[in-house]
Amino acid sequence: MERFIRCLEQQNIYEFALEAPTLCSQVWKGEMGLNRSTESLYEYTCN
């Protein structure tokens, strides 16, 4: 599960949860605040 939540005009919250019973004994969750920026955005990938 992944979702983005707008909590403020200048900030979103990214939440995720991983449910994999064969790998983990419980649900693994996390969240991170993402602040709006006026800087250019560049995509980066590692292939």
Per-residue pLDDT tens for 4-13? 999 999 999 9
- The answer as to whether 19 is a domain residue is yes
Provide the number of structural domains found in the chain. Answer: 1
Q: Residue 9 is part of which domain span?
A: 2-35
* pTM greater than the 0.85 cutoff: no
Average pLDDT of 13-26? 94
- The answer as to whether 10 is a domain residue is yes
Cα torsion 11, 14, 3, 42 to 10°: value is 80
Per-residue pLDDT tens for 26-41? 999 999 999 998 998 8
Work out the widest C-alpha separation in the chain, in whole angstroms.
43
47, pLDDT greater than 80: no
